[in-house]
Amino acid sequence: MKGVIFEGKHKISIKDDLIKPEINPDEVLIKVKKVGICGTGVGSYESGGPYIPGNIVGHEFSGEIIEIGEKVKKLKIGNRITVNPQIPCHECYYCIHDQENKCKLQNYALGTTEHGAMRDYINVKAERVHILPDNVSYENGAIVEPLSIAINAVQESDFKIGDKAAIIGAGPIGLMVIQVLRVSGAQKIFVLEPVESKQKKALDLGADRVFNPNAWNKIVRLADKIGPDHVYDCVGLSSTVSTSLSLIKKGGCITVIGMHDSTYELKNAGLLTINSITMKGVYGYKQETFRTAISLLEQGKVSGELIITNRIKIEEVPQMFEKLANPPHDELKVMVDFE
């Protein structure tokens, strides 16, 4: 069995002698079909973590059930599925209060602390499996996970119909946020993005206006000269958080989705207090978020396939990680084909 292994900083390898997994009574065995390359994986490739060296990568995936454990009741062989890769404890305060994305075992997940899906076969707990409707392709099935991140971010931001919003960064998550905001009734959606091809894609997917990052003040003028109600920072650097503070209206909400290892250095941090700004970080999703994502894809209200720019085979993965780790680039979502 072939698989892609994270070996450490700037080290990704392919092995073809992996052992096909056996399943426990509460698990299913999945023939993997599609796996997306995630920004978190690229970040680990750049910095050396949080992925654990020696683990198989991949947590955005879809596939077909080919074997079922004796205790599994609601799934069957042949089901087309996707999987919530988070592995909650089900015992801590947050899990008990339906906040498993805040579980004490945060970051405990397939592809990070446990072997992921970028291999021919994967065994997973049946409770983490979600069946795909017939009209949701395997590619869109592998998009459910990043779409869930966008849905959770918009829900946690207390967005309201008619609000104006700005998104910083039109990568895969930013493009998902655009689509979720459009479905949620945003009055205006503005985007800051330096790469021309990504600017065009943002417009195609529902943004009203797109600007280079240094032109953020144009958004302020277009948003009633006071700034948008919401800013979604899908990058998470000091520079983008600083732009968010300058861009948001007084009393507005900044939602930080992007993550980096670097330390924040904010010369305009005082605006947070002076302008009564709310800033919050968001992370992950819940089981219900996954169901919402699948429903939106089933209804055709959002598209994952439109953000896929590259479809590659497993042999091309190491070279693609290196390319994605060296922006700017035109690639958005890269899908690895295991069919």
DSSP 228-283: -SEEEESS--HHHHHHHHHHSPTT-EEEE----SSPP--TTTTHHHHTT-EEEE--
CB-based contact 205:333 (threshold 8 Å): no
The model's pTM: 0.96
CB-based contact 330:197 (threshold 8 Å): yes
Residue with tokens 């910083």: 168
Nearest to 193 by CA among 170, 174, 177: 170
| % of the chain at pLDDT higher than 70 | 100
Q: How many CB atoms lie within 10 A of CB 56?
A: 19
Domain parsing of the chain, residue ranges: 3-148+284-337, 158-281
Nearest to 119 by CA among 79, 76, 61, 69: 61
Considering the domain delimited by 3-148+284-337, tell me its CATH architecture.
Answer: Alpha-Beta Complex (3.90)
pLDDT tens for each residue of 121-135: 999 999 999 999 999
Instruction: Assign 296 a pLDDT band (cuts: 50, 70, 90).
Output: very high
Longest dimension (CA), the chain: 62
pLDDT tens for each residue of 280-295: 999 999 999 999 999 9
Q: Is 19 helix (H, G, I), strand (E, B) or coil?
A: coil
Averaged pLDDT for residues 238-253 = 97
pLDDT tens for each residue of 318-335: 999 999 999 889 999 999
Is pLDDT of 48 > 90? no
Considering the domain delimited by 158-281, tell me its CATH architecture.
Answer: 3-Layer(aba) Sandwich (3.40)
Is pLDDT of 107 > 80? no
User: What pLDDT, on the 0 to 100 scale, is given for residue 59?
Assistant: 97
